[in-house]
Structure 1
Amino acid sequence: MDINTLKKVIRKYALDNALKFNGKASAGAVVGKVIGELPEVKQYMKTMTFEVNELLPEINDLPIEKIREEIEKDYPELLEKKEKEERNIFAFLNIKSGDRVKTGYPPGPEKYPHIGHAKAALLNYLLAKQYNGTFVLRFEDTNPTLVKAEFYDVIQENLKWLGAVWDELMYASDHMELFYEFAIKTIKDGNAYMCFCDADELKKSREEMTACKHRSHSIEENLNYWKEFPSYEEGKATLRLKIDLEHKNTVMRDPIIFRIIKTPHARHGNKYSVWPNYDFQNAIMDGYFEITYRIRSKEFELRTELQRYIQKILGINITCTYELARFNLEGVVSQGRIIREKIQNGEMIGWDDPRLPTIVALRRRGFLPEAIKNFIISTGITKSESTLTWDDLIIQNKRILDKTAKRFFMMYDYEKIIIHNAPHQNIQIRLHPNNDEYGFRELEVENEFFILKSDLKELKDNELYRFMDCLNFRKINGVFEFDSLDYDKFKSEGKKIMHFLPAYGNTDIEILMDDATTIKGVAEHNIRQLKVNEVIQFERFGFCRVDAIEDHKGKKLYKFWFTHR
């Protein structure tokens, strides 16, 4: 590995990432790009990571105009690529001006959606909006054993919050009569037959690529069995497509398209017991209602052939689908079954546990819809699997919150100190360091202060220290003495600037951290102006969202959820 070549490629992608994200490059994003261009460096990850971390502070300190100038001079191809991407991230679909575009997002109302589901929803929404098309939210709710009534509302609320507002709302289960019409058509056309094999027999038949005795039923026999279908018990009979038992795609080997389910449905109760399988209802809902494009997870890739076959034999619209790779968040649990078990045994507090990537958890922590959208777009539309980290999402959120979050002081694990001869002051501190419109907050201070124990341990005799926007002081023979108010003096000889709290008049707080532990402390009284759902920054601690304001022992207790550093 040539270290100079590696450094040049790292610099190229660090500049590129910084230009895309307001001058702040992400180490994870840069590493991914470097590996993409130089796959051989995977075996030198330690060296590469070191070089990236060495370079990023320099890049992130550059003004945006300097970053662009260097790219224009040394890496002009990046700007050409960026301009192309900005023009149309859906160019690969080759949609022409004037083409009708109708997209759909079809969740099952079965669980809380996570960030992977959000990617599918947002991409289909953005595709429709880019071409002035129609975006459909369609609930695929034709398996009563999985459907839970609460998730109809949960999913709608999550999508509204993300900004993926639909033009049409549909429920697959509202179209059962349509499914039955098409089922009868497949039988009459000789494309389906009633099968009475049990699950083991059916599995063996498909594996051995041999026909069962029911495959030779006449059309008339199949129609009669279809009429009797609702009276059968679960597992007694199925309706199967007659395709090709020797097909190389096992999905095409006479798949089941209807089965008996006696479980009451969340919307329709016991009205129906003959329910279509996923592929049949999905193909009809897409084709009959003329969904033109759908971007979905790669797990459906093998099913595309079957769904297009169904659309073809039924004579309905053929939907153009694109299957993209999932992305995984490193070390994060997203499987519904595992999450459910952890909630039931008390390992997690619920579907909004701060360790989860569910939309309800991200929202409650203080992640913003725009940040999630930017993160999803940054992952790309690709068939290549990728593993990302929380940092990749956090950097998108931080770029927004840095500009919008009000600043306050808070303390936990602190001690009280007295600074002798400190004057009484009413100090004013900016609510945001770079936004005058936010105004100021006021703190009344005398000579008693709270200071973090970690800061206190570092204070050395005779050195000059400063409390932010307040005063300078020294530690002399173990006693704290006021020095001055002058910030310029601190700049010329001071050692450390730190936040503080006056020892009186503060407000009790609790913060639920991202590992689900709780921190208890106090914050300045100015947080009493905050409302639930506001996301703020506690100086030198991190961003937090106001989750609740409660009465506690005659005082207000402000409860926060930690967002990130």
Structure 2
Amino acid sequence: MATSTDNEARVALFQSIGLNEQKARETLKNQEVTRALEATINEARKLLPKENQISKSIGNLLYTLSTRSKQQIYKLHGHLIKYICEEKIKNEPQLLAAIEYLLSNPVEPVDLKALEEYAGIGVTVTPAEIERAVESVIEQNKAKLLEQRYSFPIGTLLSEVRKQLKWADGKAVKTEMDVQLLDLLGPNDRSANNAAEKPKVAAATEKAKPTTTTNTNSDVQENGQVRSFADLVGAALNFHKPGENYKTEGYVMTPKTMELMKEHLKQTGGQVVTRFPPEPNGILHIGHAKAINFNFGYAKLNNGICYLRYDDTNPEKEEEKFFTGILDIVKWLGYEPYKITHASDQFDQLYEWAKELIRRDLAYVCHQKGDELKGHNVAESPWRNRPIEESLQLFEDMKNGKFAEGEATLRMKCVMEDGKLDPVAYRIKYAHHAKTGDKWCIYPTYDYTHCLNDSIENISHSLCTKEFQARRSSYYWLCNALDVYCPVQWEYGRLNLHYTVTSKRKIAKLITEGIVNDWDDPRLYTLTALRRRGFPPEAINLFCARIGVTMSQTVLHPDMLDACVREVLNVTAPRIMAIMEPLKVTITNFPSTGVTELTVPNFPADESRGSHKIKFDSVIYIEKSDFTENPAKDYKRLAPNQPCGLRHANCVLTVQEIIRDSNNEPIELKVTCAKVTDEGVTKPKGYIHWVSHGNKCEIRLYDRLFLHQNPDDKKEVPGGFLTDINSKSLTIHSDALVDDGIKNAKHFDKFQFERIGFFSVDPDSTNDHMSSSREIIKENHNHNIDDDTDSIKDEQVRRDIRVLSARLTDMKERFMNIVQKINEDAVGYIDQTSDEDGTSADDSNVETTVNQKDNDSNETSNIDDDDDDSEEDQTNKSPMRIRMSQLLIESIIERQTRHNGYLKHLRQYPKIMQYLVSNKPSRTKISLRHVDSFIKEHVDKNPTEKIYDEVSNEIQVIRQKYLKNRK
């Protein structure tokens, strides 16, 4: 750890090249940039005549080199530092082009002639050349300039000049452009015009307001198909191109890297190649759905291929049902593997490579026990330096069964990213393997197998969850140690849900304790359980797409998944009527002598989508809860003195007599009926559903299995997850009745039981015994049916609170990711789009803070070129700041367009929506003045916390409504 004295010395060193004290201290916060900049300055001092004569222009370039370059070409920096000190690299465009060249050719010896040609090194653009080029471009656009004056997009002019003079200094070009425009047009009166136009913006905002209330959702189509994972999050994936592994941050280069890369590209044809590598020792859960979507979706997005590879290296835990179950789920989610492989397919090759590691003195046989190897502070093995031949013989003895389990392991001589020393490569297991039988008694570990299987299958992008980040260093080390092709490992945040456990061990415990029935019990969040519960695969894929791909660990509320299920089923599940707790009703004046058939639409909002027949007779059944003898003031359903309508029957019931059992409870109602259209009949306050000649059905209502949000948290649940079971997680209605719409239904067919929720036909149903499981409670929008149902209203409010709470957490995560994305992409985006905003990407008056360099973020700046500029002027002039502002707004607009239903809560924030409404029509004509004003007011005050607080306030409002309803 650096001492205070060391840091002060570094601050002085950084100030010597032109950084002000604040920037120098900010730089110290990033250790990687600090090390790179310190080394760069010291190297430059060796090349300059006088130690302290690093000019400000050279200092700018040294700083840019240290912040924009990547680790894998640090060893080549000497060439660029020499060019900078000799002033052959004069400006940032030349330097960035030189960096790009080295990233594409990262091996010695460097072709200096090709480098100089590619980056314009040594090329000098004179002021006279700049003057002539600017004059020429202005002359070509003179007519439009005189007409539009400073409203003309000046960036297009700068872009034209850059095309003619690629290596010209950006600041010099901008200065010359300003001078010639001033000469042609006179002073810039644009600010006065903008002030005069303010009322028009306000008027446009007012006019556009009604359009923002439309609640459309483009993610779910009428046929229930959803936009793919790739469609929804593909734009956020900024991975390397196949064959450009070496451009990835942290990738390790060797003298053979480029040769191996060429062979890799020859075999893959430049395709993206991914893999989904589950262990076949349990059933996949909701977290795996994200991994499946990510691996298959990213390959599909790039016209690539994805393997399904079983990581079958733990023979004692693997069963055939898990192999078939995993494939079944992958196909159920809509994906087809390019090829199905097994880690065990390569056991022979892996064994040979293990012996090669020993021969290279990079692995050894160790006799430390398992307990001694646990944790991170493991002492160095006393057998680490044993002779190579001895380790080779002992490893052979391990393979031949001469050691008991635990007596010997093969360990690799490397240090993992988390500091763990010498990970195990092979261990002894006397267990029958599902695929190789009893051929082997030594089995490779994940750390050894995973990267080598990736190499064999020519994986271009090895995608894994964040907990494997600590293994990235050993992943690269092992491939390079054996001189085989090395893929790139990319990590992303794991998906977890509240109110559940996904650990295979814990689920197995729930099964053996009899708390749940099996891996597909609908109260679990395994994918087989969700399928049995009736969750459509499209909804699960939509959920994975909605949450996207982030680096942080994600723990979400189950209501977010329910919302996706509801969106899909709302357009795919036919409506039928079902009675869970039947109350007999006899219509004494039934208008027909026999049974009447009614035609009921499957989707009342769109009758063109089919219908089904139901029977209507003098005896019907209604829900017990739809009748009360003591109605509240605003009660609208059936009561002794209050008629009520019947859904789809066009009639009104009036109670005449109540028949009771021995406990004085109503068991039958005698009623009369009248058509709603009859003269003198008052329109009923409410309508209820009913069934006549119903089909008997067992209905199972599932609730959360656990009482607490995190059953694994010892603070919440001191006794452990087994003590947190919700005893009311399953309610069974054995005597339920369902109308004829359910006839001929097949297993997993889904329906919406009117006023109750969405249900799925359970796979244990038979022709004689129908059973159905409720997936989720539907959202209640049919106010004419159930406006006054207190219990359902209470449940609706509770659900609103849960959903909003989940959205609160997710929205905070999303906006943090937006800001992170801005930091990562800002510089590259400026170069591509600065033409739109009239600002030069090469403007030297840029000052930004140095952020952490993780995740390939490309932070950079030039250093205080104009000391006289105020901090405010610097901010306003900064093209990076303007573009970051624009990117943030575009990100919000994009998400507003894609997820209009989900982000409809943004409409609650007038200041944000005022900006969105006034600028949404054209993303290329965004008013930078408005953007900057918006950023200063919202982003600078931490947008994440601001939106977080506003959503919190919204939840409080709903809670107050809930309390009011309860009263």
In which range does the TM-score fall when normalised by the shorter chain? Answer: 0.7 to 0.9
Query: Compared with structure 1, are the counterparts of its residues 275 and 545 closer, same or farther at alpha carbon in structure 2 (3 Å cutoff)?
Result: same
1: CA distance, partners of 2:471 / 2:775: 39
Which among 738, 752, 771 is matched to residue 559 of structure 1? 771
- CA drift of 1:236 comes to 1.7
Structure 1 counterpart of 2:426: 258
The structural deviation recorded for 1:450 is 1.2
Q: Distance in 2 between matches of 1:467 and 1:326?
A: 49
Within 5 Å, which residues of 2 pair with 1:8-87?
Answer: 66-67=212-213, 86=232
User: Per-residue CA shift, 1:423-449, capped at 9, x if unaligned?
Assistant: 124322112213434432223323322
Is 1:506 equivalent to 2:666 in the alignment?
no
Q: Which amino acid aligns with 1:140?
A: D
Is 1:525 aligned to 2:740, yes or no? yes
C-alpha deviations, 1:382-433, integer Å up to 9, x for none?
A: 1222322221111111112111211111112221122332312432211221
What per-residue deviation string (whole Å, max 9, x for no partner) do you get for residues 250-299 of structure 1? Answer: 33x11211111111111122110121111111110012221110222111
- From 705, 730, 744, give the equivalent of 1:516: 730
Alpha carbons of structure 1 residues 87 and 563: separation in structure 2 relative to 1, 3 Å? closer
Counterpart of 1:162? 333
2:758 aligns with 543
Q: CA deviation at 1:133?
A: 0.7
Aligned to 1:88: 234
The structure with the greater share of residues assigned to helix is 2
The structure-2 alpha-carbon separation of the partners of 1:178 and 1:426, relative to structure 1 and needing over 3 Å to count, comes to: same
Q: Counterpart in 2 of 1:336?
A: 504
Runs of 5+ consecutive residues of structure 2 not aligned to the other structure? 1-208, 218-229, 244-268, 629-636, 658-669, 703-728, 778-967
SS in 2 for 1:240: strand
Say if 1:464 and 1:397 are closer, same or farther in 2 by CA, change over 3 A. same
Change (3 A) 1:248 1:269: closer
* Closer, same or farther: CA 446–241 of 1 in aligned 2, 3 Å: closer
Match of 2:647 among 468, 476, 488: 468
Residues 174 and 201 of structure 1, relative CA distance in 2, 3 Å threshold: same
State which of 286, 309, 314 in structure 2 corresponds to 1:138: 309
% of aligned pairs identical? 29
Change (3 A) 1:143 1:544: same
Amino acid at match of 2:440: Y
- Cα distance change, pair 255–86 in 1 and its aligned pair in 2 (3 A): closer
Per the TM alignment, residue 202 of structure 1 is displaced from its structure 2 partner at its CA by: 4.7
Checking the alignment, whether the CA contact within 8 Å between 2:232 and 2:546 is kept in structure 1 is: no
Deviations 1:69-123 (A, max 9, x none): 999xxxxxxxxxxxx9847345321437995310011111000000101111111
In terms of mean alpha carbon deviation, does 443-452 or 111-120 score higher? 443-452
Cα separation, 1, equivalents of 2:499 and 2:437:
40
Is 1:361 aligned with 2:534? no
1:12 corresponds in structure 2 to none
Q: CA deviation at 1:203?
A: 5.2
Deviations 1:44-79 (A, max 9, x none): xxxxxxxxxxxxxxxxxxx996446999xxxxxxxx
- 1:32 is matched with which residue? none
Q: Structure 1 487/525 Cα, relative in aligned 2: closer, same or farther at 3 Å?
A: farther
Structure 1 residues 208 and 544 mapped into 2: Cα distance closer, same or farther (>3 Å)?
closer
Aligned length: 481
Question: Are the structure 2 counterparts of residues 460 and 227 from structure 1 closer, same or farther at C-alpha, using a change threshold of 3 Å?
Answer: closer
Q: Distance in 1 between the 2:214 and 2:480 partners? A: 51
Compared with structure 1, are the counterparts of its residues 222 and 481 closer, same or farther at alpha carbon in structure 2 (3 Å cutoff)?
same
Partner of 2:846: none
8 Å Cα contact 1:240/1:254 also seen in 2: yes
Judged with a 3 Å threshold, the aligned counterparts in structure 2 of structure 1 residues 153 and 240 are, in CA distance, closer, same or farther, namely same
Per-residue CA deviation, residues 216-236 of structure 1 (Å, 9 max, x unaligned), is 222222222222222222122
Separation of aligned partners in 1, 2:321 and 2:211:
50
Superposed structure 1 runs of 4+ greater than 4 Å apart = 63-66, 68-71, 84-87, 96-99, 200-204, 476-479, 487-490, 548-551
Superposed CA offset, 1:308-359 (max 9, x none): 1111111122222222222221111212111111111211111111111111
Q: Kindly tell me: are residues 440 and 254 of structure 1, through their superposed partners in 2, closer, same or farther at Cα, counting changes over 3 Å? A: closer
Q: Following the alignment from structure 1 to structure 2, what is the Cα–Cα distance between the partners of residues 325 and 211?
A: 34
Q: State yes or no: 1:174 paired with 2:332.
A: no
**Mapping of 1:190-201 within 5 angstroms?**
190-201=361-372
> What residue identity is the alignment partner of 2:757?
G
**After the TM superposition, which residues 189-228 of structure 1 pair with which residues of structure 2 at under 5 Å, given as runs?**
189-202=360-373, 207=377, 209-212=379-382, 214-228=383-397
Q: Distance in 1 between matches of 2:616 and 2:410?
A: 79
**8 Å Cα contact 1:90-1:127 kept in structure 2:** no
Q: Sort the Cα spacing of 1:385 and 1:224 in 2 relative to 1 into closer, same or farther, 3 A.
A: closer
Match of 1:249 among 405, 418, 430: 418
Matches of 1:260 and 1:370, distance apart in 2: 43
Summarize the alignment of residues 377-388 of structure 1 with structure 2, pairs less than 5 Å apart.
Answer: 377-388=545-556
Matched, 1:106 2:277: yes
How far apart are 1:169 and its partner, in Å?
1.0
Q: Which one of 281, 287, 290 corresponds to residue 119 of structure 1? A: 290
Deviation by residue 1:20-61 (Cα, 9 ceiling, x = unmatched): xxxxxxxxxxxxxxxxxxxxxxxxxxxxxxxxxxxxxxxxxx
Which of residues 367, 374, 379 is equivalent to 2:542? 374
In the alignment, residue 335 of structure 2 is paired with which amino acid? A
Code of the aligned partner of 2:322: F
1:378 CA drift (Å):
1.0
Q: Does 1:497 align with 2:677?
A: no
- Which residue is 2:602 aligned to? 431
Whole-angstrom distance in 2 between the partners of 1:308 and 1:488: 84
Q: 1:549 to 1:372 in 2, by over 3 A?
A: closer
- CA-to-partner distance for each residue in 1:110-144, whole Å, 9 max, x for gaps? 00000101111111000111111110111111121
Please say if 1:483 is aligned against 2:669.
no
Q: 1:346 aligns with which of 511, 514, 530?
A: 514
Q: Which moved more, 1:103-112 or 1:376-385?
A: 376-385
TM-score (norm 2): 0.47
Cα pair 1:508 1:556 within 8 Å, conserved: no
Q: Is 517-526 or 172-181 further displaced after alignment?
A: 517-526
CA distance in 2, matches of 1:289, 1:393: 34
How well do the aligned residues superpose, as a CA RMSD in angstroms? 2.9
Aligned-partner residue type, residue 460 of structure 2:
T
Which residue identity does 1:261 align to in structure 2? K
Contact 2:620 2:690 in 1 (8 A): yes
Could you tell which deviates more after superposition, 363-372 or 330-339?
330-339
Counterpart Cα distance in 2 of 1:356 and 1:365: 9
The equivalent of 2:477 in structure 1 is 309
Preserved contact between residue 654 and residue 671 of structure 2 (Cα < 8 Å) = yes
Q: Which moved more, 1:413-422 or 1:334-343?
A: 413-422
- 1:295 alignment partner, SS class: strand
User: What is the TM-score of this pair, normalised by structure 1?
Assistant: 0.79
More off after superposition, 299-308 vs 454-463: 454-463
Residues 464, 472 of structure 1: 8 Å contact kept = no
C-alpha distance in 2 between matches for 1:64 and 1:276: 63
Structure 1: how far apart are the matches of 2:389 and 2:617? 95
2:457 aligned residue (264, 269, 289): 289
Are 1:472 and 1:485, in contact at CA under 8 Å, matched by a contact in 2?
yes
* SS of the residue 2:377 aligns to: helix
CA distance in 1, matches of 2:765, 2:490: 49
Taking a change above 3 Å as real, the CA distance of residues 488 and 121 of structure 1, as seen in their structure-2 partners, is farther
Provide the C-alpha distance between the structure 2 equivalents of 1:202 and 1:421, rounded to a whole number of angstroms: 83
CA contact (8 A) 2:582 2:737 kept: no
- Given that 2:466 and 2:553 are in contact with CA atoms closer than 8 Å, whether structure 1 keeps it comes out as no
Pair 1:86–1:452, CA change in 2 (3 A): closer
- Partner Cα separation in structure 1 for residue 311 and residue 466 of structure 2: 18
